[in-house]
Chain A
């Protein structure tokens, strides 16, 4: 995996500089779209801690994204809290939710893990959908916080950048290496002293923290928290982003998120059939780019960072 030094560091600095200048170049509408893309970038990279590094397919990460969003909405709209408190509490509550749900889920692997995460996700959705205090099926409308779209863009840019840096440090730490070990072999880890469940649980909780953070930003941006953001549709969308960009590279999911959000914005300008286009993208992706876009560009060395057999597609 490429480091953050030398050529790659330079490329990242250029991208960051470009992101700082963009609000003055593009339309005000586009600033909002880019903000949304950045929020999805964080959500996708957070999800990929469990998916790409932990090797577990999660189908319920929208629960943490949505929970973060709802906590933020309640704090800002109903309790009159400030923006920093709202964002921080969202991440903390999602972390606790991640600990509870994760405690059960890490006992399973493969499709069972996917099913259980999805079940818990839908459970959270079902509760919120019936809960009057949080607006039941309509959600919480008119969440304050977005005063200046350019100002909020920069807030998101800073928070997302810091988060990605933190995740970068985490996945390159001994914790991250051992986590990859639990992905790479199902048999060996316990026999070199690894408590697989605990390793996976910590990864799950970290992932939930950043997912909750991104969820709160999403709700502030849109000014509304609605039950849909908790559903497996959102969990599925974030999985597609990870796959599209490449889940074997840290910034792969970021590439997937940006492409998908920009494409969605562009295509919904012409037609209502976005899901149809999305379907085509998934088909093409799975057939021709199983390592994702960034994954295919960066990981040319054969045998390096291949997906575990059960995640890989049959030839």
Chain B
């Protein structure tokens, strides 16, 4: 059975169908990607899956359970976590505190009023900081971290969530090409070391081809192709609407 199953998901903004009758199913364990030109509906799709937006139509099933109308925080507890294209961290907290916050909610401590939080889950938090190569900067506030480190912390928050499936919304957003490839390698390494289930959005073809096991191509709110990187490279429609634009 598929871990994440989407059936006929639709979302319209005014007259524009940002996501149009999208159906797909994602297995456990896998590094897959969703690609497509700007405005294809990739982020909207993530927003619908994670409860950030309510769909006009369709269903989202996670581990066999209907999560379509659950609030985002409950979906997170079901084991589905996401990152953001626009860095969404806790700016005046330190890198350590950002990750620790996730540990606190993961252990359902948010209404514990009397325990001292300062040193709670220190080990777990440093384990994550180590994985994202930020242990040396644990005590730096997010707002003073370089952009690349902030992007890693985005991933760190998702890692700390310990979710069954991770949706990464353009983890390489705003990076130079070399950095993009480095980030892709970093995600692939995490995937291999930890046996995670990752879906990521990307519009850079090189990044996608280098690490994805399976690619889905979105265009004007629809999934127009699905397959291995080689299959996608050979697909005529994809070439026309997407690859053609980049001259590949």
Contact = CB atoms under 8 A, between A and B. Distances in A.
A166 B119 CA distance: 19
A191 B109 CA distance: 16
A236 interface: no
Given A187-B88, A304-B92, A305-B92, A177 B73 contact: no
A174 B144 contact: no
Interface string A224-263: 0000000000000000000000000000000000000000
Contacts of A192: 76, 81, 101-102, 105, 157, 161
Nearest to B143: A303
Contact of A174 (B50, B89, B110): B110
B100 interface: yes
Interface stretch (A82-90, A92-100, A128-136, A194-202): A194-202
B93 to A, nearest CB: 6
Contacts of B93: 180-181, 184
B233 interface: no
Contacts, number: 109
Interface string B182-193: 000000000000
A148 to B, nearest CB: 34
Contacts of A195: 71, 73, 110
Contacts of A104: none
Contacts of A308: 92
Given A172-B117, A174-B110, A193-B76, A188 B105 contact: no
Contacts of B82: 191
Given A181-B90, A306-B91, A191 B76 contact: yes
Nearest to A169: B114
B246 interface: no
Contacts of B118: 172
Contacts of B91: 184-185, 306
B84 interface: yes
Contacts of A178: 101, 104-105, 109-110
Given A172-B117, A192-B161, A195-B71, A184 B106 contact: no
B73 A193 contact: yes
A279 interface: no
A306 B82 CA distance: 26
A194 B73 contact: yes
A191 B90 CA distance: 13
Contacts of B73: 189-191, 193-195
Contacts of B52: 190-191
Nearest to A196: B73
Interface residues of B, number: 40
Given A178-B105, A195-B73, A304 B89 contact: no
Contacts of B113: 169-170, 173, 175-176
A190 B104 contact: no
B147 interface: no
B136 to A, nearest CB: 17
A269 interface: no
A302 interface: yes
A173 B144 contact: no
Contacts of B76: 190-193
A188 B110 contact: no
B72 interface: yes
Contacts of A185: 88-91
B97 interface: yes
A306 B92 contact: yes
Interface in B29-77: 50-52, 71-73, 76-77
Contacts of A302: 144
B137 to A, nearest CB: 13
B13 interface: no
A188 B84 contact: yes
Interface in A262-315: 301-306, 308
Contacts of A170: 113-114
B116 interface: yes
Closest 9 CB pairs of A and B: A190-B72, A174-B109, A184-B90, A193-B105, A303-B141, A178-B110, A187-B88, A193-B76, A188-B88
Interface of A: 169-170, 172-178, 180-181, 184-185, 187-195, 199, 202, 301-306, 308
Interface of B: 50-52, 71-73, 76-77, 81-82, 84, 88-93, 97, 100-102, 104-106, 109-118, 120, 141, 143-144, 157, 161
Given A172-B116, A174-B117, A303-B144, 12 more contacts: A169-B113, A170-B114, A172-B117, A174-B104, A185-B89, A188-B90, A191-B84, A193-B110, A199-B110, A303-B141, A304-B141, A308-B92
